[in-house]
Every structure is written in structure tokens, then in C-alpha cells.
Structure 1
Amino acid sequence: MTATPQAHHAFARSDRTAIGVWWWTVDRWMLGLVALLIGVGVVIAFAASPAAAARMNIGDPFHFAVRQCVFALAGVGLLVVVSMLDVKTVRRSAFLIWLVAVGIMIALPFLGHNAKGATRWVELGGFSLQPSEFMKPALMVLVSWMFSEGQKGQGVPGVSIAFGLYFLSIGLLLIQPDIGQTVLITVAFGAAFWMAGVPISWVMGLGATAVAGLSSTYFLFPHVASRVDRFFSPDKADNRQVDAAAVAQAAGGLFGRGPGEGVLKRAIPDAHTDFALSVGAEEYGLMFLLLVIVLFAIIVVRGLYRAMKLSDPFEQVAAAGLFVLVGQQAIINVAVNLDMIPTKGMTLPFISYGGSSMLAMGLTLGMALALTRRRPGAYAASEGLAKAGAFT
């Protein structure tokens, strides 16, 4: 029987190829939202690239914009390929990725590239790879797997293994040091711990320990103390970057100066990376900033809604944890740009310049989309999400 493809869809419902089944089971609205975010990132890259290139004495003013386009294509490709995986392959891939990432992180003190007082990157043929970016989503999948195995009561010490993976991961991050990523992983791990159904007293204990640990970083790491001091005493410290970002946002007004018309971005050292949002706010205004925030909010809320409707505990916790990672990283970057928290050196997903960040976010949402696809038995029969178009 031959089905006639509908004009508004790329594939017929009867298409049983891998790409056809994927198209009818994946969250296409989520794909559209992510594509929109990536498009916004490319636009901002073209706005920020000339200023960044001039500051670094790079001849091509669109050096960073062109590279960002390449990273975007690679990130989209990775997202699509990963989102086509089945649940078992997602788990196995996460284990392999975590092993490789942790192995590289162990070698960073000897082989890594030091920048701004931290050794977080390894140089690979002109490309700076940050292994911790890939470790994050893999760790979330692994700890969710262990939590679900521990709940089965079959003698697997799932909770103990999950905590072991977590402590090893943040231990390697603290060596670099990378406090921002440590906080990010700790909050996501706590969320997964809570969603796995453990007693609330355990969650509160973990939270108290995390707060104590975070507070101790002020006394253990000089750069953390410096950033906190600058944040609480801006009149006594050098806050040129944060101040320049605030001025750029204010200068943009409601609708911005216009494409390419921003001038204050030249005073922001990390305009193409950590403060890309401020560049966009100057050229496109407050409405642009609000649009970005709303896009992230829709992605996270929609993702969490679909995750909570999943039938399998592992898929539920892992997918939710991955969406928490994305949302939390976006919140931290936006808060830094708005001078609501001390600077963290954390990128805005899909928008800030950076190959590691783009690929890692493609991996993160690719895994989340793979886990939330409509498969037989993935959602309860009472849920509308259980109606998988590819299997009707």
C-alpha cells in the first residue's frame, strides 16, 4: 500500500525507514524551538564577531561568525543523530562518553591548555575541546540509570554507584578548577536524586552539604573570592566587563539600535561568548532578550512535561535531568549578563560562541529527545503522547 505524503510533512506516516520513524516519533516542536535558538546564535555571532576579531588582532572580521556557523551545523547533525538512538543505545553511549571525558579530564593537568587561571581545555588540531561539557549529559544519564536500578531491589547498589560517579566527576572539576560547572552538575544531580523518589530527608541532607561545599569554595579558591568580592563591592573592584554589558543592554532600549549598529560591544572582552546576550540586547533591544528567555522557558517546561509523562522511571529521571541541565545553564548565563550573580564563565546554550558548547548541547538535547520519543509503551495509554504516529 502506497501512502501519499502530506504536503506539510517531510515524510509519509507509512515510511518505515529510520529517518521516517524518527520524524513521526520525535518532538518536532522542540526541534523547531532549538533551530530558532541556533539561528539567533548565528545572528549574534555575526554581530559580535567584528569586535572580537579586532580585539584579538584577527584579520577576518567574521572569523568567529563563520566558525559558529560550522559549529551550528555540527551541533544540529549531532542532535539529530543522537535523537534517533533507542534507549539502550543512549545508556551505552552515555557510559562510553563519560569514560572518555573523565579520562581526558584526568590528563588535563599534564596535557591541558591553561586559560584565565584554569586548565579546562585540550587542544586538538586547532580546536579547543572542553571535556567537562560532554561529561555533564553523560553523567546525568548514568546516575539516572543507577537510581532506577537501585529502586528495583535486585541487589544493585545504584544510589552508592551514582554518588561515586558524581563525586569523581566534581572532584575532577574542582582540580581544574571549574566552580560553575560543579554547581551546575550538583543542582542537576540533586534534581535527579529527588525525582528518583528518595526520601525528602536525603534530598535536604544533600542540599545542606552542597550549600556548605559551595560556601567553602570562597575560602579555598582565590578566583572565587575575587569574583564574589567584586560582585558585592562593585565600587571597590574592576567590573568593566559587567558594567559594559549593562550599559550595552540599556543602550538597546526596547527594540535595539538595529543590526550591526551596536558600538558598546567593543568594550566587552567576552562579547562573543559569555556576554553574547548583551550584544544581542544592544542591537535588538529588550524584546530580543525576553524572546530568548521565553524560548528557553518553553523548551525546558515542554521537556519536563513530556519527561514526567514517561512510563519508565529511568527515562523519566534522565530526560528531566537533561532538560534541567539546559535550563539551569541558561539561567546562570542570563543572570550573569543581568549582573544578578557573580560571573561564572558559562556559555548560553546554542547562542554563545564555542564548538565544545554547541556540540555538547546538541548531545544533551539529542539524548533528551531520544528518551522522550513516542515509542510503544513509552507513555501511559491514558496520555495523549502515547499515540505514536509512526506506529498507527
Structure 2
Amino acid sequence: MAEEKDTQKKSWFWNFIDNIQGDKVILIIIAMLILFSIVTIFSSTSMLADSRTSRLDIFKEQMVTVAVGTGLIAICYFIPRIWIFRALSQLGFLVSITFLALLHTPLGVEANGAVRAVQLGPIQVHAYEVTKVAMVLYLAWAIHAYKNDSFKIANWLSSRFPRMAFLAKPGWKRMIYIFLPVLAVCVGILFGSFSSTMFIGGIMFITILIGGIKFKDIIPPAIACIAVACLCAGIYLVSDGKVFGRFGTAISRMTMDERHRDIKELRPGSEEFQKALDAIKQPASAKIAIHDGGLFGKGPGNSTQKYTVPLMFSDYMFSFIIEEYGLAGGIVVIMLYVSLLARASLIVRACDNEFAKTAVAGLAVLISGQALMHMFINADLGPLTGQTLPMISHGKSSFFVFSIAFGVLLSISKMAKAKIKKEEEESEPLVEGLGIQDDNVQDTLSELDDFESGKGLPS
């Protein structure tokens, strides 16, 4: 009886897995990333614990974050129609620019020397994290509308008012609906982070290229973005660093080698020495963590560099993973993000909707690209950017928005799979189309072989 119950339980579990219509490989990737997140957050957040909170409290908080994130994935997964995503995505630019504007109000919260979060009651929302996903989805909608000429407001204005007839031209539609929102968002982010501007701006331009906008059409807006960046740099210099102050932060991070030389000239124990030491301590400790990890790592909970790197649980999570789980653990994490990119390419090929193709490709590039940049920074192959490891690093806003991104990927993969299955059922079987009545294709092929060899000819 016990064996029968176990068999029934296993059967129920595997039946549940089989009934999931979304891409199961992406589902496995999500589960693995969440598992890594739970284990590593519990082990790496020693510096977050204080007299009021313990590591167990932080772990419980992370479990709540995972539960909410899983709920967001489920909500997105069960959305039945692609037009619902498309309708919501056209609000992406409005959502992004609203959060960026709120950073300059009393609701803005300063973190690590810059205002990057918005306090909405008890909830603190990281504006840049929301902007990443919102703008990718918005651009997917805009490109779909551009190719189908379905910009209702522009078309209505151009037909209603003769002076606005220029809005009917494709070039103006590209500029107003695609390139100007990208430029506005980049300028909004530049107030708080130069590196985030470069990264998010790059992801947006890649999404535009993936969507099928010709490269020659992107060159003029790209030049305009460079001109605006130069203008912002000029404002930074004229204002003596008071406006667009993150230019100075970017320059200081790119000249880290000079700080290594300058610290030798400072007196140990002085305030200047301590500031210079803090500026170079994190990258050095991250490299030490990678070196000490070896092939199989020190084991869970045995990291030592987490006590010297204040942001080990966010900006340097990949170094922490290698220190505790070794190069083997690091390779597993890399494979998860690479596999996501590979599966997304298959989903794109199965989609016949322009919005779905651009959204899936853009979100996959965003997630994998951010993970790759995080790894490069941890290996000291570039200046610190503050880009976390998606779905693993500590941070509620990041976890929630990437949960939505994964939910969209799963939902679109489910829709694409269902459509392919429906088309296969409705299409006329090839064998019947040839006039062959035998249902067994293998037998039919054998008969053809016999016919070609002369065995099937009448004697």
C-alpha cells in the first residue's frame, strides 16, 4: 500500500509538471536561480545583520520576497492573451519617466551617494530596476505598432489637422515613439548613475535593433544621444560637479589605478587614507574571493571576504558564489544565463507576433547581459557599475521586476507552444495528402523502399 501511495504521489507530481505549458527549461532555470538566491542570501548577509535584526530575520524576509516574486511569475504566466501584455506595455515609458521624476521629489531616497529609490509608503522601489524591464516591453510595443502602423494618436492628429500631417511619416513616428523616449529615459537616469545610463541605454538600442529597425535609421538618434551626453558633461563641468555629479563618480572608478598609486603617498590611519582604502577594497576583496574559491570552493557559510566587502550580497554576489562553491558553482550559474539566452532564441523562432519576438529577445538580452556585466565587474574587468546578479543578488525591487520578466517569457512561450500545437492539429497530415492511407509512417517508408528496389513490382 505504501508503495502504491508513493507511486500515486510521484504520478501526481509528474502529471503537474507535464501539464505546465510554458517552456520547461526556463522554468528549471528560474527554480535554480531562486534556489541559489535563497542559499547565498542566507550565507552572505552577515553585514546586514545588526542589533535589531538577525540573519534569520533576513532569511525570512528573503523567503517572503521569493514568495511574492513567484506569485508575480504565476500571474504573468496565466495571462491568456498576448494583446494584454501589449496593451500594458505601452504604459512602460510613462511608468519609467514617472519613477525617474519622483526621484527629484521628497519621495526620493538616497542610497550609496545617489538618489535611486522612491519611497511609496512602506515600500521602497528602485527606479532604475523598474525602468529596465518597463522600457524593453515599451519598445517591443512601439516597434510592433510602428511596423503595423497602429499609432492611433499620431494617425488621428495627422488626418484631423493638416498642419500635423508630418506625423503620418514613418520617420517622425520612429522619432516620437521610439527614439525620444529612449533619450528622455537616458537623461533621467544620468542624474543618478552614469554606468546605469550606459547599460540601460545599450540594452534599449539592442532591443530596437532586434525589433528590426534598420541600423541606418538608428545612427542619427545615436549621434543625438552622444551630443546630449556631451552637453550633460559640459553642465557637470560648469556647475562644478553639482549637476550630473555621477560623471565624477564614473571618472574616479575608471581611474582606479591612480588611486592605487595615490594611497601610497597618504599617511596610514588618516581620514584620506581610509577613504582611498575603501575605494579600492571591494574590487580587491572580490578578486581574493575568486582566488580562494578554487575549483570546489570553501563550502556553504565559510566565506571570509563577506566580512570585508560591504556589498558582497549584491554587487559582488558572483565572487561570493565562487568563494563558497568554487569554479564549479560559478560555471553552473553561467550556464543558467547562457541557457536562458538559447531558449529565448527558440521561443522567438516559434513566435509569429512582432511584439512577442521583440519582448522575448529584449528581456533575455537584458537578463543575460546584466549577469555577464556583473561577472565581468566581479573579475575586475571593468569599473564598478552596481548591476546585480539577476534573481540571485539581494534586493526586492530587482527580484520583483525580473520575476515579471521571467513570467512574461514563460507566458509567451506557452502561447507560442499552444499555437504551434493548434496549427499541427488543424493542418492536413502530409502522408494523407500524398494519398497514402496507412497510418504507420514507418510502414509507408518501407513500402516505398521496396517499390524503389523492385520488390514491390508485380511479377
TM-score band by shorter chain is 0.7 to 0.9
Aligned to 2:104, the other structure's residue is in SS state: helix
Q: How far, CA to CA, are the matches of 1:12 and 1:363 in structure 2?
A: 21
TM-score, with length taken from structure 2:
0.73
Q: How far, CA to CA, are the matches of 1:133 and 1:363 in structure 2?
A: 12
Please state if 1:347 is matched with 2:388: yes
Aligned to 1:372, the other structure's residue is in SS state: helix
Q: How far, CA to CA, are the matches of 2:206 and 2:98 in structure 1?
A: 26
Report if aligned partners of 2:294, 2:326 keep a CA contact under 8 Å in 1: yes
Q: Displacement, 1:40?
A: 0.5
Q: Displacement, 1:381?
A: 8.8
- Superposition map of 1:138-177 within 5 A: 138-153=134-149, 158-160=173-175, 161-175=177-191, 177=192
Q: In the alignment, which of 77, 83, 88 is matched to residue 93 of structure 1?
A: 88
Aligned to 1:329, the other structure's residue is in SS state: helix
Summarize the Cα distance change of 1:251–1:52 in structure 2 as closer, same or farther, 3 Å threshold.
farther
Summarize the Cα distance change of 1:213–1:101 in structure 2 as closer, same or farther, 3 Å threshold.
closer
Q: Which residue type is aligned with residue 183 of structure 2?
A: F
Q: In the alignment, which of 129, 136, 150 is matched to residue 133 of structure 1?
A: 129
Q: Which residue type is aligned with residue 72 of structure 2?
A: L
Report if aligned partners of 1:310, 1:380 keep a CA contact under 8 Å in 2: no
Aligned twin of 1:66 = 60
**Cα deviations by residue, 1:239-260 (Å, 9 ceiling, x for unpaired):** 1001011111111111111111
Aligned to 1:132, the other structure's residue is in SS state: helix
Aligned to 2:48, the other structure's residue is in SS state: helix
- Superposition map of 1:130-279 within 5 A: 130-153=126-149, 158-160=173-175, 161-175=177-191, 177-204=192-219, 220=236, 221-230=247-256, 234-236=260-262, 238-279=279-320
> Structure 2: which 5+ runs fail to align?
1-7, 156-167, 237-246, 263-275, 428-459
Q: How far, CA to CA, are the matches of 2:294 and 2:286 in structure 1?
A: 13
Q: Displacement, 1:336?
A: 0.9
Summarize the Cα distance change of 1:235–1:344 in structure 2 as closer, same or farther, 3 Å threshold.
same
Please state if 1:9 is matched with 2:24: no
TM-score, with length taken from structure 1:
0.84
Aligned to 2:196, the other structure's residue is in SS state: helix
Report if aligned partners of 1:253, 1:286 keep a CA contact under 8 Å in 2: yes
Q: Displacement, 1:28?
A: 1.9
Q: How far, CA to CA, are the matches of 1:183 and 1:379 in structure 2?
A: 38
Aligned to 1:289, the other structure's residue is in SS state: helix
Aligned to 1:121, the other structure's residue is in SS state: strand
Q: Which residue type is aligned with residue 281 of structure 1?
A: I
Report if aligned partners of 2:101, 2:188 keep a CA contact under 8 Å in 1: yes
Summarize the Cα distance change of 1:212–1:42 in structure 2 as closer, same or farther, 3 Å threshold.
farther
Report if aligned partners of 2:25, 2:343 keep a CA contact under 8 Å in 1: no
**Cα deviations by residue, 1:220-255 (Å, 9 ceiling, x for unpaired):** 411111111116764446310010111111111111
**Cα deviations by residue, 1:41-85 (Å, 9 ceiling, x for unpaired):** 11111111224325xx55413343322222111111111211222
Of structures 1 and 2, the larger Rg is shown by: 2
Q: How far, CA to CA, are the matches of 2:82 and 2:202 in structure 1?
A: 24
Q: How far, CA to CA, are the matches of 1:378 and 1:332 in structure 2?
A: 35
Q: Displacement, 1:192?
A: 2.1
Aligned to 2:115, the other structure's residue is in SS state: strand
Query: 334-343 or 74-83, which moves further after superposition?
Result: 74-83
Say what the alpha-carbon RMSD is for the aligned residues.
3.1
Q: Displacement, 1:198?
A: 2.6
Aligned twin of 2:42 = 46
Q: How far, CA to CA, are the matches of 2:189 and 2:39 in structure 1?
A: 32
- How much identity, in percent, do the aligned residues show? 25
Report if aligned partners of 2:46, 2:306 keep a CA contact under 8 Å in 1: no
Aligned twin of 2:449 = none
Q: Which residue type is aligned with residue 99 of structure 1?
A: L
Q: How far, CA to CA, are the matches of 2:294 and 2:324 in structure 1?
A: 9
Aligned to 2:387, the other structure's residue is in SS state: coil
Q: How far, CA to CA, are the matches of 1:310 and 1:286 in structure 2?
A: 36
Summarize the Cα distance change of 1:10–1:132 in structure 2 as closer, same or farther, 3 Å threshold.
farther
Aligned twin of 1:389 = none
Q: In the alignment, which of 292, 299, 324 is matched to residue 365 of structure 2?
A: 324
Summarize the Cα distance change of 1:103–1:208 in structure 2 as closer, same or farther, 3 Å threshold.
closer
Q: Which residue type is aligned with residue 313 of structure 2?
A: H
Q: How far, CA to CA, are the matches of 1:187 and 1:308 in structure 2?
A: 23
Aligned length: 370
Please state if 1:300 is matched with 2:341: yes
